Structure 1
Amino acid sequence: MPKKLLVSVFLLTILLLGCSQQVKNPLNWELKEFIFTNQENQEFGLADLKGKIWVADFVFTNCATVCLPMMANMTELQEKLHEENLDVELVSFSVDPEIDTPEVLKEYALSYGADLTSWNLLTGYSQEIIEQFALENFKTIARKPADDTQVIHGTSFYLINEDGIVIKDYNGLNVPYEEMIKDIKLLFKE
């Protein structure tokens, strides 16, 4: 192969690799191992999500404000993922575990039309554990004041890659579905 052609192929390869698409500005937060209880009263944890792309959020069933649109939006996201034939798991962590038993979470999810074959709603921990877990792993608040039935919590949807790394967060109240789907497709290509 002539030297000029070899240099051209080399430069073209570098250019193409440099232009490969990736999720912009990844967060790269590594999740710590967890094992909680899902809506089927079965243990479910990070090991069950290994090798899968997933989206997580924090909600609770007694919520009188932000959880209602967040649940509706997560259900809509699930529908869009099905339409795009994207095999993505959804995980909702309850921030009110004393109230949110597996049975309560299951009934709550089904009332939104959730497909529970790819959506796990988690509980089975203390209030202190979920508050610490949310802060350490997702950099978000999950605090239940002693004199209130409502829990203060973040409203983001988090995209997690196959290695359990939080890649990006999105507004869970005004969801940028197109951006999320695009980013998920990019993760499948990596």
Structure 2
Amino acid sequence: MKWKWAVLLSALMLFLAACGADAVEEFNYTDHRGEQISKQQLEGTPWLATFVFTNCETVCPPMTFNMADLQKEMEAKGLSDYKIIAFSVDPKEDTPEKMREYLSHYPIPDESKWHLLTGYSQDEIAEFATENFKSLVKNDPNSDQVIHGTSFYLVDQEGVVVGNYDGFEQVPTAEIIEDMQELAQ
């Protein structure tokens, strides 16, 4: 049954990706350190965005490992001016403390670059994901899980989504790094 959701989600993601993206709207949310992080604070710095939640039983753990591996590769290539933003798709459950504990289980090369965000409602993040990243966020009516996209998004210094990559199974690490390096120039 899980593979059917994955196929449906993949088809929807391809459709939504074809629609294009604009600048990410303003936001001001709480990160896993309890600090407020806003879009305005990220201006001037490229960032990678994704959607995860701490109680995820399927795609989030591999996605978080993949992002940690991607960060390791970026650091090895000399990239240092970037942030990693992970929006919780289960904000009611994902407190800063819970997100901090979640992140501690992964081999993060430089945790200071990461901001796992919460501090909004489920409806708000569902709308935010659709409006800004053309991504689906929906509660699974049959479990405590949340259905969501598995992409990594590259956001430029002006807050515009300029890249959408698989963050789950076939992460195009070299392509993401090359795109990130182009932004840095």
Provide TM-score, normalisation by structure 2. Answer: 0.85
Matched, 1:178 2:174: yes
What residue identity is the alignment partner of 1:57?
A: T
- Superposed displacement of residue 116, structure 1: 2.1
Instruction: Check conservation: 2:21, 2:133, Cα contact below 8 A.
Output: no
Instruction: Identify which of 57, 60, 71 aligns with 2:53.
Output: 60
Instruction: Identify which of 158, 161, 182 aligns with 1:163.
Output: 158
Q: 2:102 aligns to what?
A: 108
Mean Cα deviation higher: 149-158 or 136-145: 136-145
Give 3-state SS (helix, strand or coil) of 2:48's partner. Answer: strand
> Stretches of 4+ moved more than 6 A in 1?
none
- Superposed displacement of residue 145, structure 1: 3.3
1:1-190 matched pairs, under 5 angstroms: 27-86=20-79, 87-114=81-108, 115-173=110-168, 174-189=170-185
Q: Distance in 2 between matches of 1:73 and 1:145?
A: 24
Gaps of 5+ in 1: 1-24
Gaps of 5+ in 2: 1-17
Q: Distance in 2 between matches of 1:68 and 1:119?
A: 15
**Percent of aligned positions with the same letter in both sequences?**
44
What residue identity is the alignment partner of 2:123?
A: E
- Superposed displacement of residue 184, structure 1: 0.7
Q: 1:12 aligns to what?
A: none
Give 3-state SS (helix, strand or coil) of 2:112's partner. Answer: coil
What residue identity is the alignment partner of 1:54?
A: W
Question: How has the CA–CA distance of structure 1 residues 138 and 28 changed in structure 2, closer, same or farther, with 3 Å as cutoff?
Answer: closer
Give 3-state SS (helix, strand or coil) of 1:32's partner. Answer: coil
Instruction: Check conservation: 1:55, 1:89, Cα contact below 8 A.
Output: yes
Larger Rg over CA atoms: 1
Give 3-state SS (helix, strand or coil) of 1:36's partner. Answer: strand
- Superposed displacement of residue 147, structure 1: 4.3
CA RMSD of aligned residues (A): 1.4
Provide TM-score, normalisation by structure 1. Answer: 0.83
Instruction: Check conservation: 2:30, 2:118, Cα contact below 8 A.
Output: yes
Q: Number of residues paired by the alignment?
A: 164
What residue identity is the alignment partner of 2:73?
A: K
Q: Distance in 2 between matches of 1:54 and 1:68?
A: 20
What residue identity is the alignment partner of 1:127?
A: Q
Q: Distance in 2 between matches of 1:181 and 1:29?
A: 22
